[in-house]
Structure 1
Amino acid sequence: MPGAPIAEIFGEFAAKTTLDDIPAEVVERARHLALDSVGVALAATDQEFTRRARRALARLGSGDQPVLGLPDRLGPREAAMLNAVLVHGLDFDDTHVGAVTHVSASALPVGLAAAIQHDRSSADLLAAYILGIEISARVGEVARGGFHDAGFHPTGLAGAFGASVAAAKLAGLEARGITAAQQIVGSMASGILEFLEEGAWTKRLHPGWAANAALTASAFAAEDWPGPTAVYEGRYGLYATHLQQREWDTGAMTDGLGEHWELLKTAVKPYPSCHFTHAFADAILFLRERDGFGAADIERIRCLIHPTPGAVVCEPIENKRKPRDDYDAKFSLPFIAGACVSRGRLTLAEFADEALADNEILELAQLVDIAGDPDSRFPHAYSAAVEIALKDGRTLTRREDINRGHAERPLSHEDIRAKFTGNAGAEAAEVRAHVLALGTEGSARDFAEKLRQA
């Protein structure tokens, strides 16, 4: 539909696409992305942020929808919120690299909620999940990191649009309704980066709010509620209002739609921290393993980073050198560099209270300097360059142009299954098999109930 509004193009595409239309490679990768999300969610069930989220959402009412790995039963929007907090809360969930968007964190929870609400099959759920990821990725990628530059979190913005497509598709709406859901959700998409100043927990809510908004928008679309036609490309559309004078090419949003799949560019995280820090962790851990230095050998650590991710994980620098809590630490390149040197690893344990108070890590964080990286491949990839000066006079260098998990350095299906086992436990083999069979049989409710029992 040349010249048609983007929301309409997406609506037509989603309305006609079934699971049979999606390449087998994409479907199988989607199952592994879902597995990764479920594993991370199960690892988060005993966290303090989860306990608070459960109490908060219980205040809003109850329902019959199951929650991942927990006994709670909630209404569709509240269940979607809680499931999203579980998936995203540890910051260990997948990221579409170009879009800088945690795509599964809203697409899977909204898919579960809407599929159960409308009594859909697990095949319907899987198709909608894939479409939610695809639209979120395409909406976010056009910004080329610009949402971050303007202080917005793409997961809350782009995620809301993809989730609205998934929700409307599962609600049984035709192309017009799926189009309208996007047009309506544009007034609800939100998420600001101010949490970075002090490690506040608001980011943990962004994908859940995107899912909540999507379910709301879908319900209004079902009643023919009019939304703005040019919600993406209009004078006061998403990009004009959120990119603050930066240029964008909305034509790229629909290029190759249905022919090449952005889902395949979604990166699975090897570390439970902001994706912008991963290549630095890899570089430091490589040098530590190769050269055998320890904390006492360090003179200085210099990290070169593109200014857009640098603003997220390096500023304000004094705050980043002494994080206030685990979430603050996950967005602190100095802390993560110190932890990698001190511990020789970067796992969930490096963000526990004991690690946050570790004087050796904190002293190493004081030795980290930040500089710009003229050779960074951001936003195509999250590059890192590290220079470590040792007290014996040696200077060690390492560059990671492409972060692990990126489409050019993907984690294999075997890697993802191993990560799931690490998060969910060896006894969760039955859950793993269940998720990897998503879409082959049964209802979405049956699928979700088995995950609740995990």
Structure 2
Amino acid sequence: MANTQTNQESLTRRIATSSLALRSGDVAPELMAYTKSCIADAIGIGFASHYYDFAERTVAGVRTLASPGAGVVIGLEDTLAPRDAALLNGTLVHGLDFDDTHLASVVHCSASALPTALALASERTVSGTDLLLACIIATEVDARLGSAAGGTFQQLGFHPTGVVGIFGATVAAVRLLGGTVDEAVRAQGIALSMAGGSMAFLDTGTWTKRLHPGWAAQSALAAAKLALAGFEAPPEAYAGRYGFYALFTQNANNVNNVDWSSAYQEFAMESVAIKPYPICHFNHAPVDAALHLRAKHGLRSEHIESITIGLHERQFAVVVEPVARKQRPESEYEAKFSVAYAVATALVRGQLGLRELELESRTDEAILALTPRIHCVHDDRSNYPQTFSGGVSIKMRDGTVYEHFDAVNRGAEGRLLSEGDVKTKFVQNCRLVLSETRTEAVWEAIMDVDKQDDCSALLEALKGLGDPISTADRNNAVSRSATC
């Protein structure tokens, strides 16, 4: 699709105009297929989250607020108001921190895009193709807005998915609602007053980050519907003294870094990385490096003298500091954001899946004996934030040193997971709570969605958990998670 807008138009209007003009013929079949892979990945994680306590508590809390409606929630038999379904689905998809990431923006795009689209598909006729296009549009907006910040959101204490995710979801919602360019402009202005998301969860490993994409999706629905009702809002969401970049990056000039001229020509969805491990994406390259050296040289943790992990220094606040707490994470969620724990666990256990985040692993003396021997340094080879590079240098007690560095983390552009890898991950996640037959039915519903005039088959496939699966099947799924 040719992007014929001029830079004299406001960024808000340029985003609205080109996003509403996108058609399926503008998108290569391969990208539509990859978008389905991202949707399948998100839905699989949404089901897996029901295995964990946070999901039950979140559902219980939202039920006390919820209104009746047609909104389908992954894994629930009953339906809720679409806005409440969006909140829950976003929380379920992001809850295990296993969902996809656009690397340069550090935004978990599918976690707010898909819940928004599913909520609207629950209340109106949305074709499968339009569902995919909504996710592509939301990703395009999120990725380009987030990338322009240059990694400053997290430095200032903001979670990128929380502060950026609402904008892509809002534009996608306006499109699915059949809105106009003017309405999409107003909706973005409304969204500006709803954006937010603190990184305070890092200090204690608590749950608030899990809510951020669900809140973005819920708020996007509100912004879009208010705009279509004629609610007035600032016509420029991103520029100016009180615009998005002034508020969330403390530099209004960052709006000039937004590359919208190539939007929908070079698609951001092509740079979305599906995760092979259920941990913070910053930890993936060091874990892969550690597993590579362990397998290649037969390393045993008791023979290791010390480990040096190389990352970009701007990643330290998320996965390295505070050092003492990262060495002994107190919760499953805190463990996800510790590169020392992740690398130590990979070297001791030879894998890093959901089981390796549970209490039995977090209290494993072999792992805890290794984490104090790990220290992190800034690595000049890092491509952050374009890719989440990383590596390890392992010094053995006999003085031998083994090193490995990955410039591009597995799952990122150039090293994308195959559809087979994605399905393996999907199956392992779903099998925590679903039968084998039901898991396959959900996968088929997702893969067929672009052939459907509406999303009713997909939505029906998402309802409920079905008959309880055996403990043996569930334990097998946990132990095999993240082996793609």
TM (norm. structure 1) is 0.97
The answer to whether 1:73 aligns with 2:79 is yes
- Give me the whole-angstrom Cα distance separating, in 2, the residues matched to 1:227 and 1:95: 30
Residue 192 of structure 2 corresponds to 186
- Please identify, of 325-334 and 72-81, the stretch whose mean Cα deviation from structure 2 is larger: 72-81
Would you say the 8 A contact 1:45–1:70 is kept in 2? no
Would you say the 8 A contact 2:441–2:461 is kept in 1? no
What does 1:22-421 align with in structure 2 at a 5 Å threshold? 22-63=27-68, 64-245=70-251, 248=254, 250=256, 252-421=258-427
Would you say the 8 A contact 1:115–1:124 is kept in 2? no
Residue 478 of structure 2 corresponds to none
Residue 15 of structure 2 corresponds to 10
Question: SS state of the match for residue 450, structure 2?
Answer: coil
Change beyond 3 A, Cα 1:246–1:386: farther
**Which one of the candidate residues 445, 449, 453 is aligned to 2:460?**
449
- Give me the whole-angstrom Cα distance separating, in 1, the residues matched to 2:142 and 2:36: 17
**Which one of the candidate residues 426, 442, 448 is aligned to 1:431?**
442
Would you say the 8 A contact 1:62–1:73 is kept in 2? no
Give per-residue Cα distances to partners, 1:266-300, cap 9 Å, x unaligned: 00000000000000000000000111111211111
The amino acid of 1:132's aligned partner reads A
What is the aligned length?
Answer: 454
* 1:251 Cα deviation after fit: 5.3
In structure 2, runs of 5+ residues without a counterpart are: 466-484
* 1:30 Cα deviation after fit: 0.5
Question: SS state of the match for residue 324, structure 1?
Answer: coil
The amino acid of 1:452's aligned partner reads K
- Please identify, of 101-110 and 286-295, the stretch whose mean Cα deviation from structure 2 is larger: 286-295
In structure 1, runs of 5+ residues without a counterpart are: none
What is the percentage of aligned positions where both structures have the same residue?
A: 37
TM (norm. structure 2) is 0.91
Give per-residue Cα distances to partners, 1:153-208, cap 9 Å, x unaligned: 11011111001011111122111111211111011011011111110110000000
Give per-residue Cα distances to partners, 1:374-419, cap 9 Å, x unaligned: 2211111111121111112111111111101110211112211221
Q: RMSD between aligned alpha carbons?
A: 1.5
Would you say the 8 A contact 2:186–2:231 is kept in 1? yes
- Please identify, of 210-219 and 414-423, the stretch whose mean Cα deviation from structure 2 is larger: 414-423
- Give me the whole-angstrom Cα distance separating, in 2, the residues matched to 1:69 and 1:253: 38
* 1:445 Cα deviation after fit: 3.6
- Give me the whole-angstrom Cα distance separating, in 1, the residues matched to 2:239 and 2:121: 30
* 1:446 Cα deviation after fit: 3.5
- Give me the whole-angstrom Cα distance separating, in 2, the residues matched to 1:219 and 1:271: 37
- Give me the whole-angstrom Cα distance separating, in 1, the residues matched to 2:79 and 2:259: 37
Would you say the 8 A contact 1:146–1:246 is kept in 2? no
The structure 1 segments of at least 4 consecutive aligned residues displaced by more than 4 Å after TM superposition are: none
Question: SS state of the match for residue 397, structure 1?
Answer: strand
* 1:115 Cα deviation after fit: 2.2
The amino acid of 1:24's aligned partner reads P
Give per-residue Cα distances to partners, 1:295-320, cap 9 Å, x unaligned: 21111111121111111000111110
- Give me the whole-angstrom Cα distance separating, in 2, the residues matched to 1:49 and 1:235: 39
Would you say the 8 A contact 1:130–1:263 is kept in 2? yes
Change beyond 3 A, Cα 1:246–1:16: closer
Question: SS state of the match for residue 254, structure 2?
Answer: coil
- Give me the whole-angstrom Cα distance separating, in 2, the residues matched to 1:247 and 1:396: 44
The amino acid of 2:338's aligned partner reads S
Question: SS state of the match for residue 70, structure 1?
Answer: coil
* 1:252 Cα deviation after fit: 3.5
* 1:81 Cα deviation after fit: 0.9
